[in-house]
Amino acid sequence: MTLEEKVGQLFVTYLNGQSPDEVNPVNRTDFGVDTPAQVVAKFHPGGVIYFNNSSRDNIDTPKQVAALSNGLQRSATSSGSRIPLAISTDQEMGIVTRIGAPATQFPGNMALGAGRSTADAEKAATITANELRAMGINQDFAPDADVNSNPVNPVIGVRSYSSDPALAADMTAAQVRGYQQRYLAKGAVSATAKHFPGHGDTAEDSHTSLPVVDRTVEQWREVDAPPFRAAIAAGIDSIMTAHIQTPRIDPSGEPATLSKPVVTGLLREELRYDGVVITDSLGMAGVRQLHSDAEIPVLALKAGVDQLLMPVDLGLAVTSVLNAVRTGEISERRIDQSVLRILRMKFLRGMLTNVLVDVDAVPRKVGSAANLATAQQITDRTTTVVRNDDGVLPLRAKPASALVTGWGETTTTLLADRLTARGTATTRLATGSAPTDAQIAAAEQAAARSDVVVLLTNALSGQPAQRSLLARLLATGKPVVAVAVQNPYDVGYDAPTWLATYSYGAGAMESLAKVVYGEVGPKAKLPVEVPGPTRFPLGHGLTW
């Protein structure tokens, strides 16, 4: 390989468009070429990443994704070093899911942590890997191995399995086994544990700021390290860094992504990890506050990183690394170390052979009836009943009428449909994150006409209007079933009946309906401590 080809392997880039030959004007702006395939041919990157947002727009249907993957692989193997791509996405499940239905949707990490079943976690990852591989995706930036020790964490939350390091470690290892399966397995993908050294104790979002985690090395070893240790013991292919400052570990002020004491000292030397280390997106504010976009890739490599994810200007980033090698700032031997790790990952996970997928087979492999049934069974084991002080649940007889109200247009619709399907005349009134006085009054009036009220909440601590809605509905005297549909910390606010679903997707709402109507018994336990106003300990959960 030439130096240029080796440096290309270090980069994982975004692309614009849903087909390899789609002319997208954003590609011309970002890369100086027109199509995704031309980006690959020009820069011969080691990998690409798919998104489903308006700016990147790579994902429509599973068959379309498979065709895109095939086209990009053809471009990669017919140009440059001819090495196939690592094609990645963030399919964590739960709130970070790039490929939605008809692909099988599983509960996210905290729901799995509530279910406490490593077998369920491994099975969910295995099916997810099989479906991703059927679409030509061979690397998943999952699982999230962060220990969510800060209840106000704005970016991790339910992406974490638990606030308990041991539980998070067990679930992380199980999902690594599920994603990666075995060497050269046809349905396996490379797993990626994130965000090292641990993003769980931040109160800020590294997409928009540079958070500080004020842990000592000893505290890190006790709280944040166990899931990463478990991932490494399970044979994890790659680990993603966090854009956070750790001043008691590295007083230089560098974000962990650019910190040699963190990447080389803790990850390489203390944890003895010799797999691929990849940065979080280099377009995030957390890594761009202290250095220019030209400096960042070079500093990351000097810290011990192997792969550079989504630089803002790919051409500038590649040139910066090439110049650093040519001037002696970075040795070519150092580049070779990273390239060998990347090629080893590609070989062991079967990315170098049989890279094209059968597009016509995708509908049989993605979202199959068997996979969907398994996903629902797993989800049914993740709903936690936290309070049932008045003995309202399970509903002994199906109510004639119900009101579903609170957070989420789609989520209230999903749940209302589930209740209606069970023979209950259901009124739906979505009130959003910050209900107005008029919406609260309308909800009160609708509650007065209903036999039971189901209130969906999300982030009560920062939403006084949602708390007011809860209080006003309780004052109607009607049975109110309050449900925290994302972070479970909402259950600390006063209401006699509280459940936590950790997710607001269709599967979670089906499971919620089953628990409320007594079709399945609740088995899940809180995977975090709820600090209050009413405290609930880790592991609390009611059953019947």
| DSSP letter (8 states) at residue 536 | B
Q: What is the pLDDT of residue 486?
A: 97
Predicted local confidence at residue 479, as pLDDT? 97
Strand partners, 139: 88, 190
pLDDT digits (tens, 9 = 90+) for 27-49: 999 999 999 999 999 999 999 99
Closest alpha carbon to 263 in 205, 295, 308: 308
pLDDT tens for 364-421 read 999 999 999 999 999 999 999 999 999 999 998 899 999 999 999 999 999 999 999 9
Contacts for 135 with CB less than 8 Å, ≥ 6 apart: 62, 65, 66, 69, 99, 103, 357, 362, 366
pLDDT attached to residue 500: 98
For the chain, how many helices (H) and strands (E)?
20, 16
pLDDT-derived band at 174, boundaries 50, 70, 90: very high
- What integer pLDDT is reported at residue 354 of this predicted model? 84
Give the pLDDT band (50/70/90) at residue 81: confident
Mean pLDDT of the chain: 97
Per-residue pLDDT, 503: 96
The string of pLDDT tens digits covering residues 427-443 is 999 999 999 999 999 99
Give the whole-angstrom CA distance, residue 500 versus residue 518. 16
* 418-427: average pLDDT: 97
Phi, psi of 223 (to 5 degrees): -100, -55
Q: Report pLDDT for 346.
A: 97
In the predicted structure, residue 230 carries a pLDDT above the cut 90: yes
Alpha carbon distance 302, 282 (integer Å): 15
Provide the token pair at 452: 């039971």
* pTM summary value: 0.96
The catalytic site residues sit at: 207, 280
Residue 369 backbone class (left: φ over 0; alpha: ψ -120 to 50; beta: rest)? alpha
Q: What residue ranges define each of the domains in the chain, with the CATH number in brackets?
A: 3-369 (3.20.20.300), 383-516 (3.40.50.1700)
Per-residue pLDDT at 374: 98
H or E, element range at 5: helix 3-9
Q: How far apart are CA 180 and CA 223, in angstroms?
A: 25
What is residue 348's predicted lDDT score, i.e. its pLDDT? 95
3-state helix, strand, coil in the chain (%, to 5): 40, 15, 45
Q: Which residues, including other chains, have CB under 8 Å from residue 516's CB and lie 6 or more apart?
A: 393, 394, 395, 454, 481, 499
Does residue 199 have a pLDDT over 80?
yes
Report d(CA 75, CA 88) in Å as an integer: 16
Q: What is the pLDDT of residue 55?
A: 73
Is residue 394 within 8 A of residue 516, CB to CB? The reply is yes
H/E stretch holding 91 reads strand 91-93
